[in-house]
């Protein structure tokens, strides 16, 4: 509470003159400070902080070597390279790599949709496609995030992140062809 203190100290006579009373004011700020701390505490405890929005990534368990083989027709391989370029091929062998980028008319999204439609005609379901994502040493982090975003956008249920193979690196150096003419 605010209080007003008056003091009697100023009514003494000095040299025969009478001085007027001095009033001193004192405002107690303790309740205002208490209220401020209560408000700060209230807002800190009731505020929800932004939670990081992360994509769930399930890693497979190590399987024995005698597991059934995957049908090559179901595979789409994406190799992320420098300058947001993506090399892609179907199946298990990297003999003829084709090059595209993320944002173009025939970008990676169109290729994924094309592959899904092809599998829809053959197997009656788009969910059979398996996409394998690989990165070269020249690829950047943004490319990997973009590739995972494309998996989410195109509704690809099964995808894997693997290391790039030496034959694939050789094919990229040769402009997409792994068979070098000698």
Polymer length in residues for the chain: 182
Residue 157 is encoded by which pair of tokens? Answer: 């249920």
Averaged pLDDT of the chain: 81
Residue 170 is predicted with a pLDDT of 87
Q: Please name every residue paired with 23 in a beta bridge, in sequence order, or none if there are none.
A: 6
Residue with tokens 């070597």, as numbered in its chain: 65
Model confidence at 181: pLDDT above 50: no
Question: Of the given ranges (6-20, 73-87, 151-165), which has the lowest mean pLDDT?
Answer: 6-20
Q: What would the mean pLDDT of 134-139 be, rounded to a whole number?
A: 90
Q: Which CATH class is domain 72-173?
A: alpha beta
Q: Please name every residue paired with 162 in a beta bridge, in sequence order, or none if there are none.
A: 134
Max Cα-Cα span within the chain? 123
Whole-structure pTM value: 0.62
- Give residue limits of the domains in the chain: 72-173
Tens digits of residue pLDDT in 61-95: 776 666 667 788 888 999 998 888 899 998 888 77
Q: What would the mean pLDDT of 27-50 be, rounded to a whole number?
A: 89
- 4: helix, coil or strand? strand
What is the rounded CA–CA span in Å between residue 34 and residue 126? 63
What is the rounded CA–CA span in Å between residue 130 and residue 132? 7
What does 139-165 look like in DSSP terms, one character per residue?
A: --HHHHHHHHHHHHHTT--EEEEEEPP
Residue 11 is predicted with a pLDDT of 52
């Amino acid at each position: 509470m605010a209080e007003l203190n008056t003091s009697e100290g100023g009514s003494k006579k000095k040299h025969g003159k009478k001085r007027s009373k001095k009033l001193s004011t004192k405002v107690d700020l303790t309740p205002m400070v208490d209220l401020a701390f209560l408000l700060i505490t209230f807002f800190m405890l009731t505020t929800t902080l932004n939670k990081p929005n992360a994509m769930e990534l399930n890693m497979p368990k190590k399987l024995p070597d005698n597991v059934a083989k995957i049908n090559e027709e179901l595979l789409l391989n994406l190799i992320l390279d420098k300058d947001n370029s993506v090399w892609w091929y179907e199946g298990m062998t990297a003999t003829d790599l084709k090059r595209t980028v993320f944002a173009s008319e025939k970008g990676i999204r169109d290729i994924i949709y094309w592959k899904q439609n092809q599998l829809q005609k053959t197997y009656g379901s788009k969910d059979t496609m398996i996409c394998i994502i690989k990165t070269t040493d020249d690829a950047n982090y943004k490319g990997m995030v973009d590739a995972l975003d494309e998996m989410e956008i195109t509704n690809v249920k099964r995808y894997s992140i693997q290391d790039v193979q030496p034959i694939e690196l050789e094919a990229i150096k040769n402009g997409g062809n792994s068979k070098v003419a000698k």
